[in-house]
Amino acid sequence: MELALKAFAFHSAGDGPIVNEPTHHDLMGWYKVAVSYGLEDERTVSENVSVLHELHKIHFLRYPKQLPGPVPNLEVIVDQTVEHLISTFTQIINPR
């Protein structure tokens, strides 16, 4: 997801710098940058990125631990969200 968001931002920025470039694998930061470059801000996608951002921030996938609530089905969130983002980026970058 991070790579897809970065690729879209760098493509959209062309030769210019990325304004407010996120650091430390900030998924929400990259999502916001992509939105600033023309990606439609969709509630479900934003919520999914936010969930993954929080889990990524605590290194949950690398070092699983008990969370205070149920863990969402990450496979579905990641697959659906990344597929949606790549499809959307493709339509923006190379419309047919």
For 59-73, b where at least 16 C-beta lie within 10 A, e where not — what string?
eeeeeeeeeeeeeee
The confidence score (pLDDT) of residue 65 equals 66
For residues 88 and 38, what is the distance between their CA atoms, to the nearest angstrom? 11
What mean pLDDT value characterizes the chain?
Answer: 85
pLDDT in tens, 43-86: 999 999 998 888 777 765 665 666 666 766 777 788 888 899 88
The confidence score (pLDDT) of residue 60 equals 58
DSSP 68: S
| pLDDT bracket for residue 34 (50, 70, 90) | very high
Q: What range does the domain containing 26 cover?
A: 2-93
Q: How many domains does the chain have?
A: 1
For residues 67 and 64, what is the distance between their CA atoms, to the nearest angstrom? 9
Does the predicted model carry a pTM greater than 0.75? Answer: yes
